[in-house]
Amino acid sequence: MIEVENLTKHYGHHTAVDGLTFTADAGEIVGLLGPNGAGKTTTMRMLTGFMPPTSGSARIAGFDIFTDSLEVRKRVGYLPERVPLYPDMTVKGYVTFWAELRGAKQPRQQAERALEMVNLSDRRNTLVRNLSKGMRQRLGLAQALVHDPQVVILDEPTIGIDPQQVIEVRERVRALRQQHTVLFSTHILSEAEQICDRVVIINKGKIVAQGAPNALRQQLQHGVNLYVQISGANSATAGRLLSDLRGVQSVEAQGDGFIVRARQGADVRGDIAQRVVQAGYTLLEMRPVAMTLEEIFLDIVGKGQAS
């Protein structure tokens, strides 16, 4: 349904999107995950026909985003990062306006349904200027869904709304599955994990990993994390003992023991057991611990960059 091939965007000398290739199948929810400045918004603006790519191409429902942008827009609902709002319109008027603009068959009824979906029906006669920030975000979502588009592209739909609404919006996005193909961006890993069938992780304009959240975790969990508990040595001594081992990348205290992270490809279990016993201590526990996607994400995009 969405096919992206080598999509690239330069702003002057700066490459914001650098050769992205990915797809989203019909009925699938795909998350575009990346830290600030990764190129999420730039990608979405190209896919929705608001900006031409520097090179590469993309098709939505079989239509080229550049040469068939009118056909694309009919089939796409887009929640931009900054929703253009008309302050003097009423809520209902605003959504109806967008429904008409996109050729909806029953603009008023569809507007009413979209407002219900985002919990704004009781504000239908409120002027847009008088909505709170979170309500505006939800109005943007109603605008994106009003013409019942095949493809829904949402740029950080949960930003700026309160936690209760975040949960509701996530549920609504999730409910779009199967009837719609959804591409949504987020910098929140757990959000991507909760909602998506597949995640495309981008950093500095490039894809660094993609796949189903579970598969991704397995594929990227390089090195094995072990939980190790030693008795007989004080914490500092035990920590030093472990971090001195070749093949150990890092050691972090956790509870009564340590999380030991091995370097890629290294199996350090035998060395740990041997070293502990040689030093005259007792190995109480040693077991693998799964890395969370959060840890993997930080690992890939570099610590301190993912905010």
Ligand X SMILES: Nc1ncnc2c1ncn2[C@@H]1O[C@H](COP(=O)(O)OP(=O)(O)OP(=O)(O)O)[C@@H](O)[C@H]1O
Chain residues that interact with ligand X, rule: CB under 6 A: 11, 14, 16, 34, 36-42, 81, 187
Q: Which is nearer to ligand X, 12 or 103 (CB)?
A: 12
DSSP 68: T
Q: How far is the CB of 18 from Mg ion (least distance, A)?
A: 16
**Quick one: CA dihedral 29, 4, 8, 81, positive or negative?**
negative
Q: Which is nearer to ligand X, 99 or 169 (CB)?
A: 169
CA dist., res. 157 & res. 184, Å (int): 8
Q: Which is nearer to ligand X, 11 or 86 (CB)?
A: 11
Write b or e for each residue in 216-255: b if 16 or more Cβ atoms lie within 10 A of its Cβ, otherwise e.
bbeebbebbbbbbbbeebeeeebbebbeebebbeebeeee
Residue 250: strand pairing partners: 261
Q: How far is the CB of 10 from Mg ion (least distance, A)?
A: 17
Q: How far is the CB of 84 from ligand X (least distance, A)?
A: 16
End-to-end alpha carbon distance in the chain: 31
187 binds, among Mg ion, ligand X, none (CB under 5 to 8 A by kind): ligand X
CA dist., res. 242 & res. 276, Å (int): 8
42 binds, among ligand X, Mg ion, none (CB under 5 to 8 A by kind): ligand X
93 binds, among Mg ion, ligand X, none (CB under 5 to 8 A by kind): none
121-to-116, 142, 147, 242 alpha-carbon distances in Å: 5, 11, 17, 60
CB 266: neighbour CB atoms within 10 A? 17
Q: Which is nearer to ligand X, 20 or 169 (CB)?
A: 20
Q: Which is nearer to ligand X, 79 or 91 (CB)?
A: 79
Q: How far is the CB of 101 from ligand X (least distance, A)?
A: 24
Contacts to Mg ion by CB under 5 A: 40-41, 81
Q: Which is nearer to ligand X, 34 or 53 (CB)?
A: 34
11 binds, among Mg ion, ligand X, none (CB under 5 to 8 A by kind): ligand X
Closest residue to Mg ion, Cβ-based?
Answer: 41
Q: How far is the CB of 50 from ligand X (least distance, A)?
A: 11
39 binds, among Mg ion, ligand X, none (CB under 5 to 8 A by kind): ligand X
Q: How far is the CB of 42 from ligand X (least distance, A)?
A: 3
278 binds, among ligand X, Mg ion, none (CB under 5 to 8 A by kind): none
CA dist., res. 158 & res. 148, Å (int): 20
Residue 112 makes CB contacts below 8 A (sequence gap 6+) with 92, 121, 124
Phi, psi angles (nearest 5°) of residue 115: -65, -35
Edge-to-edge strand ranges of the sheet holding 206-211: 76-79, 151-155, 181-186, 29-33, 198-203, 206-211
Q: How far is the CB of 190 from Mg ion (least distance, A)?
A: 18
Q: Which is nearer to ligand X, 127 or 298 (CB)?
A: 298
